Structure 1
Amino acid sequence: MYEHSSTHPADSTTPTDHTAAGGPAEHRRSPFRRAVVRRVLPAVAAACLGVTGFTGLAHGTPAGPSVGATKLTRDTTTTATTVSARTTGAGSVRQSAADFPTWGTRWVVHATADTGSPSVGMINKAAPGQDRISADYQVDTGRKVCEGSACSTFMAHLTGPVTGFLSVVAVDIPQDRLPGVPVQGGGGQPQPGGSRQEMLNRAATWLTANNGSQVPYSQAKVWKDGYRQDCSGYASMALGLPTPGTNTVGLATDRSITRPIALGELIPGDLLIDAAGDNNNRHVVIFEKWNNEAHSSYTAYEQRGGHGTDHRTLTYGLPGGDAEFKPYRPVTFGD
């Protein structure tokens, strides 16, 4: 009777395997000059720790609050490009992005403009397609990250090859911020109007995080970013909740996380949740957009049994669909 219970068990309230590992990444190549000695990260870097976990390595090292801008010692050129953002409702939004070369290896790309946030990938100049990044804005976090004599408090929002935030120290430029790239509010907080899109961007990372394939489904295991590999662990990851993620019942009932809304109010980043039954038939999906004016179907992200991460058309919660699903709005968006 229930599509979600026949195609995938939902989530587990008692995950048993919380072993974290490394993270994915990808992009292109460029010459660079550097006034500091380059270091190769030891094998422990593969564990995908944030920049705060290393000292004097190619990730860059945080050096406390900034007391002034520090000029970097690299030469480069940038290329203006245009990227198409994901649809956030009626249509697509086009944003200007700039293209920059990278340097070094094993740079962590973070989920938010905070070096303590989960890793969503890696940048390695030596890897095919990863010697360049594109960025559409940057954030002054107020926290300096250094590698050798080069320091910056800025983190760039990448649109490729990995979507997420990267310290500007990883970019092969002579400045401590990206030239010509807009600066948004600081403190490492999600930006107004951008937090829903960031959630959808994080959800999309699991579609290719498994060496180009989707993250497999599991109620017992956690993925490399520390989140449980079931539906509620996936939604928790997209929302940036603490690892390994809450369960489906928590997502539906904890008013510090979500609140109920009407079906017609659904907008990108909202959730549809079936919190009834046991861990084999509860489920949650992330609403992305309506597919037509009649609202007869929608596109959503989900983590489902027998498949893993998916991005597809659904009718859960709609008339004629699975009525157990109810719409909820994450309160983090403030609306």
Structure 2
Amino acid sequence: MYEHSSTHPAETTTPTDQTPARTTRRRAPFRRTVWRRVLPTVAAAGIGVTGFAGLAHGSDVGSATTGGQSTTATGLSHDGSARAGSVRPAAADFPTWGTRWVVHATADTGSPAVGMINKTAPGQDRITADYQVDTGRKVCEGSSCSTFMAHLTGPVSGFLSVVAVDVPQDRLPGVPVQGGGGQPQPQPGGSREEMLNRAATWLTANNGAQVPYSQAKVWKDSYRQDCSGYVSMALGLPTPGTNTVGLATDRGLTRPVSLGELKPGDLLIDASGDNNTRHVVIFEKWNNDAHTSYTAYEQRGDHGTDHRTLTYGLPGGDAEFKPYRPVKFGD
């Protein structure tokens, strides 16, 4: 892998890695395999399951894998504890599967985490839900997908993607649906705070660790695992994300600003050269009144997602980096 510097990751233009999706095995004595309907994968950041890989730096072309795993190969196996056609009352108890599923503050997988279920073992926790929200945005793992977020009353209060629940359908049977109505909800990343919250999710999305850098793979939410894929995810742009040149030149996405105008969520972009030199980072804050360094989020080679002090674009730093403001912020 070539890099612009020891801390400046390269971009790629041709992701090549595709591996089969994982099949979850149940250990019931009389196993009944149930296939959820296969839907397009548009998984959201922050939902963690053992076996997922990480997000990465931006490349020019996306891949059909999520976390290095294809989403078209297999379904999930379920035991007899959740059969099609079963009806449960509101505030019902449900089994779960997989590990390290994030519970969110709102019915949006881009919202901050408020807890986690199945921290150390698949299906360790059962959840109690009193209603569910149709978000209109699919979250997938393997060939299992759901547009619904369940409101949990236990063991953690918050919202959990129904894809984490061990039922053969994409919604909780017998639990009331509130809001959404199947209509798409506002895309996350519409404000500076939302963008930075989404950027931060990659620091721990890989089972508590940062999403690894890759020039060839996409993460479970279908964004490329490189710098511009990471920024595209944080901004809520369509998957698999635009490339670094697009982030700098598309005036429907960004506009140039001066260094003195930088605000949280703005970008510093080096769009020159080729995919071995281009890079983009997300500005969070100045570290001092003299503006000699700043804290930023980035997806970099040999490390993955990072949150650290940088000087790209500043006097004495890499002068090829220029400041840009996402136009969706409206200022």
The question of a shared fold, defined as TM-score above 0.5 by the shorter chain, is answered with yes
- Cα distance in 2 for partners of 1:236, 1:215 equals 15
Matched, 1:303 2:294: no
1:16 corresponds to: 16
1:273 corresponds to: 269
Q: Which runs of 5+ in 1 are unaligned?
A: 23-39, 60-70, 76-101, 134-138, 146-151, 179-185
Residue 294 of structure 1: which of 278, 287, 290 is its match? 290
Q: Summarize the Cα distance change of 1:104–1:21 in structure 2 as closer, same or farther, 3 Å threshold.
A: same
- Cα distance in 1 for partners of 2:327, 2:150 equals 25
Contact 2:267 2:283 in 1 (8 A): yes
- Cα distance in 2 for partners of 1:113, 1:213 equals 23
Equivalence map 1:1-335=2 (5 Å): 4-17=4-17, 73-74=90-91, 103-105=94-96, 125-128=117-120, 166=161, 188-190=185-187, 195-335=191-331
Contact 1:104 1:125 in 2 (8 A): no
Contact 1:317 1:324 in 2 (8 A): yes
Contact 1:72 1:176 in 2 (8 A): no
Contact 2:187 2:236 in 1 (8 A): no
Cα deviation for residue 249 of structure 1 reads: 0.7
Contact 1:258 1:328 in 2 (8 A): yes
Cα deviation for residue 16 of structure 1 reads: 2.7
- Cα distance in 1 for partners of 2:135, 2:288 equals 43
Q: Summarize the Cα distance change of 1:155–1:230 in structure 2 as closer, same or farther, 3 Å threshold.
A: same
**1:144-199 alpha-carbon deviations (Å, 9 max, x no partner):** 99xxxxxx98887xxxx9999757x999xx97669xxxxxxx9611589x622221
Cα deviation for residue 10 of structure 1 reads: 2.3
**1:263-315 alpha-carbon deviations (Å, 9 max, x no partner):** 11111111100011111111100111111222221111111111111110111
Larger helix proportion of the pair: 1
Contact 1:273 1:328 in 2 (8 A): yes
Cα deviation for residue 72 of structure 1 reads: 6.2
Secondary structure at 2:225 match in 1:
coil
> What amino acid does structure 2 have at the position aligned with 1:254?
D
Q: Tell me whether 277-286 or 221-230 shows the greater mean CA deviation.
A: 221-230
1:88 corresponds to: none
Question: How high is the sequence identity, in percent, across the aligned residues?
Answer: 61
- Cα distance in 2 for partners of 1:283, 1:321 equals 14
Secondary structure at 1:267 match in 2:
coil
Contact 2:271 2:279 in 1 (8 A): yes
Greater RCO, CA 8 A, separation 6+: 2
Q: Summarize the Cα distance change of 1:142–1:105 in structure 2 as closer, same or farther, 3 Å threshold.
A: closer
Structure 1: 4+ residue segments shifted above 4 A? 18-22, 40-45, 47-51, 106-115, 117-121, 123-133, 139-145, 152-156, 161-167, 174-178
- Cα distance in 2 for partners of 1:298, 1:224 equals 30
> What amino acid does structure 2 have at the position aligned with 1:316?
Y
Residues paired across the two proteins, number: 259
Secondary structure at 1:6 match in 2:
coil
Contact 2:102 2:116 in 1 (8 A): no
Contact 2:218 2:224 in 1 (8 A): yes
Secondary structure at 2:197 match in 1:
helix
RMSD between aligned alpha carbons? 5.4
Secondary structure at 2:274 match in 1:
coil
Secondary structure at 2:234 match in 1:
helix
- Cα distance in 2 for partners of 1:140, 1:214 equals 29
TM-score scaled by length of structure 2? 0.58
Cα deviation for residue 253 of structure 1 reads: 0.7
TM-score scaled by length of structure 1? 0.57
Q: Which runs of 5+ in 2 are unaligned?
A: 23-31, 45-70, 83-87, 139-146, 166-170
1:87 corresponds to: none
Q: Summarize the Cα distance change of 1:49–1:330 in structure 2 as closer, same or farther, 3 Å threshold.
A: closer
- Cα distance in 2 for partners of 1:209, 1:322 equals 29
